[in-house]
Amino acid sequence: MSTGLVKKLRTAVLLGFVFTVIGLLIYSRIMAYSLAPTMKPADFRGLAIWEIPIAYLIDYFSHGWICLLFAFVAAGLVYEFVPKEAITKYMSSGRVAGYGLALGMAPFLTVCSCTMVPLFGGVLFAGAGIGPAITFLLMAPAANILSILLTGELISWELAGVRIIVSIVVALTAGIVISKTPWGRAIEKEHQQTVPTGQASIEIVKPPLDERLWASLKFAAYLAKQILPFFLLGLVAVSYVQAYLPEDIVGTYLTGVTGVLIASVIGGPLYTPTLVEIVLGKGMFELGMSKGALLSWLMGQPYDVANALAVSRIAKWKVVLTYMLIAWAGSVVFGLLYGMLSGSL
């Protein structure tokens, strides 16, 4: 067989796989088949301790595999096909473009935290300033494609939409506020430097379609390998929460103004970049958590600890503390607002 034919065949097979995955999701939509776990807290009550996680995992994966598969494949494809060189070129070009790109592109570029921190540093050093860098940093984990897809599929698309909008507002506010503070400016001055304007030093090699498809599936598998072990552990924890957390505790502490405050506080430290917060949020929502508290809970992630540590090495702790405070305030304010507007506080 000629190599040309092999290449065409490979492209066809890979494209076929991608379209099958997309088709499966659409089909499950049309058939109104639930992709979220269907077990209710009451279903767990009769089970032995060791049976609970097993029953939950089986329930979860029998419904959730299409959604997970789609989320990972989509993340891989988007990451591979997003025009990275165009983005990085404009990111160094100025403030307004910097903010715009940080908001528009962060969700697509940063399914992996190891791309996020260097971009933060790069944007900062390249002269776009600390504002866009912070915006980018907050926007990325709050509204990346994986977590939005899963929020939409598992909880509701309404919440996913609200999550995106609130992330934009909070990230932009934090960026602008920090760029005005004296300590933010100090960092900016310290790191700013001129960047080659010609961009002649970058000539990206474009690989053929079959290799790009293969690379995006490989990246999807890499993401899955990174995330799934924690995701599984998280699901086990969720199954126990579902089984043993009494509904009246959730009803008392995770609704109303107190609910929003508590959810926003525990959402931060508990956040792991593993999508567990979505399943855990869903579990508590079913136990009676209000919509407002749920939003606060999901918005807790931008001030997670691991992220903050990595950033504090470049920016000083004052900057980290400022953006954490703003993110926290944002999650409380918008949690309350959303709770009131949706009639579920």
Partner 1 sequence: MNEVKVEVLGLEPPCMRCQAARKVAEKVAEKLKQTEIIVKVEKANIMSKDVVGKYGVLVSPAIAVNGVVKFMGRVPSEAEVEKTIREAVKKEA
Q: Shortest approach of partner 1 to residue 221 CB, angstroms?
A: 12
Nearer to partner 1, 153 or 210 (CB): 210
Using CA atoms, how far residue 317 sits from 205, 246, 270, 321, 322, in Å, is 39, 39, 21, 6, 8
The reply to whether 221 sits near partner 1 by the rule CB under 8 A is no
Residue span 143-172 as binding mask against partner 1, x where in contact by CB under 8 A, dash where not? ------------------------------
Interacting residue with partner 1 among 30, 48, 201, 343 (CB under 8 A): 201
- Pick from 137, 162, 149, 64: nearest CA to 314: 137
By CB under 8 A, residue 7 contacts partner 1: no
Taking CB under 8 A as the rule, does residue 308 contact partner 1? Answer: no
Class of residue 191 by CB neighbours under 10 A (exposed 0-12, middle 13-18, buried 19+) = middle
314 binds partner 1 (CB under 8 A): yes
Q: How far is the CB of 268 from partner 1 (least distance, A)?
A: 24
* Rounded Cα gap, residues 118 and 317, in angstroms: 18
- What mask of x and - would describe binding to partner 1 in positions 123 to 142, judged by CB under 8 A? x-xx----------------
Window 74 to 103, contacts with partner 1 (CB under 8 A): 79-80, 84-85, 88-89, 91-92
Q: What are the residues whose beta carbons fall under 8 Å from the beta carbon of 140, sequence distance 6 or more?
A: 106, 107, 109, 110, 116
**Rounded to the nearest whole angstrom, what is the least distance from the CB of residue 96 to partner 1 in the complex?**
16
The residue range among 21-29, 191-199, 233-241, 292-300 that interacts with partner 1, by the rule CB under 8 A, is: 191-199
Q: Beta-carbon neighbour count of residue 156 at 10 Å?
A: 16
**CB closer to partner 1, 71 vs 109:** 109
Q: Does 205 bind partner 1 (CB under 8 A)?
A: yes
Q: At what angle do helices 157-180 and 182-191 cross, to 10 degrees?
A: 80
Contact between 121 and partner 1 per CB under 8 A: yes
CA trace torsion 213, 145, 24, 76 (10° rounding)? 20
Angle between helices 113-125 and 95-109 (to 10 degrees): 170
Residue 292: exposed, middle, or buried by beta-carbon count in 10 A (0-12, 13-18, 19+)? buried
Binding mask 277-306 for partner 1 (x = CB under 8 A): ------------------------------
**Closest CB 33 distance from partner 1, rounded Å:** 35
Binding residue for partner 1 (CB under 8 A) from 16, 94, 104, 196?
196
Q: Which stretch binds partner 1 (CB under 8 A): 9-17, 215-223, 271-279, 318-326?
A: 215-223
Q: Does 115 bind partner 1 (CB under 8 A)?
A: yes
Query: What does the alpha-carbon distance between residue 258 and residue 202 come to, in Å, rounded to a whole number?
Result: 52
Q: In the bound complex, what is the minimum distance in angstroms from residue 46's beta carbon to partner 1?
A: 43
To which residue do tokens 């508290």 refer?
Answer: 293
CA 238 to CA 247: how far, in whole Å? 14
Nearer to partner 1, 73 or 250 (CB): 73
Under a CB-based contact definition with an 8 Å cutoff, are residues 281 and 263 in contact? no
Site string for partner 1, 232-271 (x = CB under 8 A): ----------------------------------------
Task: Measure the CA–CA gap between 186 and 41, rounded to whole angstroms.
Answer: 52
Which CB sits closer to partner 1, 84 or 318? 84
Helix (H, G, I), strand (E, B) or coil at 109: helix
The count of C-alpha atoms lying within 13 angstroms of the C-alpha of 247, restricted to the half-sphere facing its C-beta, is 8
Residues 6+ apart with CB under 8 A from 230: 272, 274, 276
- Residues in contact with partner 1 by CB under 8 A are 79-80, 84-85, 88-89, 91-92, 109, 112, 114-115, 117-119, 121-123, 125-126, 191, 193-196, 199-205, 207, 211, 215, 219, 222, 314
